[in-house]
Structure 1
Amino acid sequence: MNKGGRGLGRGLDALIPMGGASHQVETVQKKNGATDWVMVKDIVANQFQPRRLFDEDALNELVQSIRQYGILQPIVVRKTMQGFELVAGERRWRASQRAGLKEIPAVVKELTDGEMMEIALIENIQRESLNPIEEAAAYRRLMEEFGLTQEEVARKIGRSRSLIANTVRMLNLSPDVQDHVSRGTLSMGQARPLLTLEDREVQLEAAETIIAEGLSSRDAEELVKRIIKGVGEKNRAKKEVEPIRGVFVEEAEDQLKMVLGTQVKIKPGKLKSRIEIEFYSQDDLERIIETLTQMMQPTAGVRVPGQLIV
């Protein structure tokens, strides 16, 4: 999946006009123009932030960079009744907290909730910092909370509608499989075939097989095909031998239980049927055999219809 900045809708420059990077550094240093200095403690995280996982090593590296060079690019915030809400730049804000900064350069914008979410999503995609599950959740949230269609999301983000649809489908995977995709132990290509498996436990087993054996995306597709074929054959076999029980069978079971003095189970099948007779000792078996022998005698006092003794 190409996550570069090319073709991503209007892009951040259009959504948050702040000028070039060199202008931003100069503005920060002069503390004037469109950039303000905001107290770090007065900022709260973006409630629409699609990103859930932050690389600790990369964050610590950013802390060291900030301590040495300061903040080279301002974050973006919007004013709230309590202070400020972060729009873009959460890694810089988090790193500034760890670096012990009291205030941070920020561009203050007036934005709606929808604009905030759109900006946060585009920023993360342009930085290639969202995993597929985070991206899928962000697309779905845009559609559910702001009433956007897949076509509208695609147009805003600058991607194809089919890509949006395929990404959102990843959320149909079981939570454990989604976790593998989030952590990168399972790629989108490896995980996509698992969507055709309805049983979530089977999904996870297949995912673990793919990971353990290092299967390619194509190999993963073949594995899933074999699983589906195996499940189909198993279901067909089960259907073929599935008992079709009726009053006649139940009555025959009751008759045999009374005559033999033990549990009897008649199992009708499509091609052949079985009668299961339980016994609990050698003596019990001999008793049942003697009873059956007597039943087969023409002069037997008790007669069970011959078609039941198969």
Structure 2
Amino acid sequence: MAEDAPRSRLGRGLAALIGDVEPSQAAAPAAPRERDRDAERVRSGARKVPIEFIRPNPRNPRRSFAEAELDELAASIRTRGLIQPIVVRSVAGKTDAYEIVAGERRWRASQRAALHEVPVVVIDVTDAQALEIAIIENVQRADLDPLEEAAGYQALLDSFGYGQDEVARTVGKSRPHVANTLRLLKLPDGVKAMITAGQLTAGHARMLVGQPDAESLARDIVARGLNVRQVEALVRERSDGPRPGPKPRSAAPQKDADTRAVEKRLSDALGLTVVIDHKGDGGTVHVHYRDLDQLDEVLRRLEAG
């Protein structure tokens, strides 16, 4: 499958380009006049097609559509019509058949509103680009729950050979965000169900990854209404177990001024606590980090030289 078009071009200004962000939901544009011209070009290229010619994208990461929201949108469409076109692509080898790239919620609501035709904009994109657009559209609107977002990222990794850095650039998120979101897929099904139901946030759930009793912890968190910091303390307490009493320690040898100066230089450069232990002619450098974001930043700086 040819994918010669640069992937990064989809990440910036994508929603405005395909005319799929409602004014109340769009972020303030850097160049309003230019983006308005882009949206106007899209609207002028829209045409109406029978609604039965359109089918959803099986790779759309969004799986959940709230019934109440669909009913509200359908009522609006009955009154005012479908103002924004649905973005579609032609189905290979078929005449008058289109697959949704962006706008499945509007398509579903239009069916409820009993529309016979809907406005569409037809674009030419690959499978990978169609998935990128679906993820970006939903992430920009915060329509995806954390597991749907993670599944979309995983599809880019598995089906199209992306790396996490490339996924991050494509969807406009940081690499730590992508990595932490993907970790949610490792949780037990019971915990995933609580995330989908909105009982647990992504911040809560990330603390449970790798915990042998993740599901019981999750139920405890929901029952007690714990915040993320309290969950972090609870997980640490369960992982560490009861703390032993203090043990006598021999006095640490005093470090010379040169070693302390090097520790300070490294700490200032990395923004983290650095401890140097000399042993003979060699030694050990300890870099202390609080979370994965800080570790990722250390790696980025080291790789950048």
TM-score by length of 1: 0.65
- The equivalent residue for 2:303 is none
- The equivalent residue for 2:216 is 205
Q: Matched residue pairs, number? A: 218
**Identical positions, percent:** 45
Q: Distance in 2 between matches of 1:123 and 1:64?
A: 23
Residue 185 of structure 2 aligns with an amino acid whose one-letter code is L
Q: Is the 8 A contact 1:121 1:138 kept in 2?
A: yes
- The equivalent residue for 1:127 is 141
- The equivalent residue for 2:99 is 85
Q: Is the 8 A contact 1:77 1:108 kept in 2?
A: yes
Q: Distance in 1 between matches of 2:78 and 2:135?
A: 28
Q: Distance in 1 between matches of 2:207 and 2:217?
A: 10
Correspondence for 1:158 among 147, 153, 172: 172
How big is the shift at 1:226?
2.5
Q: Is the 8 A contact 2:19 2:39 kept in 1?
A: no
Residue 223 of structure 1 aligns with an amino acid whose one-letter code is L
SS at match of 1:106: strand
SS at match of 2:207: helix
Trace 1:272-291 onto structure 2 (pairs within 5 A): none
Q: By percentage of residues, which structure has more helix?
A: 1
Residue 47 of structure 2 aligns with an amino acid whose one-letter code is D
Correspondence for 1:94 among 103, 108, 120: 108
- The superposition leaves residues 224-273 of structure 1 with CA deviations (integer Å, 9 ceiling, x where unpaired) of 1232234999xxxxxxxxxxxxxxxxxxxxxxxxxxxxxxxxxxxxxxxx
Cα RMSD of the aligned pairs, angstroms, is 2.6
SS at match of 1:195: coil
Q: Distance in 1 between matches of 2:58 and 2:108?
A: 15
How big is the shift at 1:120?
0.5
Structure label with greater radius of gyration: 1
Residue 11 of structure 2 aligns with an amino acid whose one-letter code is G
- The equivalent residue for 1:219 is 230
- The equivalent residue for 2:239 is 228
TM-score by length of 2: 0.66
Q: Distance in 1 between matches of 2:191 and 2:12?
A: 33
- The equivalent residue for 1:10 is 12
How big is the shift at 1:223?
1.6
Task: Give the ranges of 4+ consecutive aligned residues of structure 1 lying more than 3 Å apart after TM superposition.
Answer: 13-27, 229-233
Q: Distance in 2 between matches of 1:21 and 1:127?
A: 22
Q: Is the 8 A contact 2:19 2:84 kept in 1?
A: no
Give the 3 Å change call, closer, same or farther, for CA 26–186 of structure 1 in structure 2: closer
How big is the shift at 1:117?
0.3
Q: Distance in 1 between matches of 2:238 and 2:138?
A: 37
Within the alignment, does 1:48 sit opposite 2:59 as a pair?
Answer: yes
How big is the shift at 1:109?
1.0
Give the 3 Å change call, closer, same or farther, for CA 213–115 of structure 1 in structure 2: same
Q: Distance in 2 between matches of 1:71 and 1:206?
A: 45
Residue 191 of structure 2 aligns with an amino acid whose one-letter code is V
Give the 3 Å change call, closer, same or farther, for CA 129–14 of structure 1 in structure 2: closer
Give the 3 Å change call, closer, same or farther, for CA 194–13 of structure 1 in structure 2: closer
Within the alignment, does 1:59 sit opposite 2:63 as a pair?
Answer: no
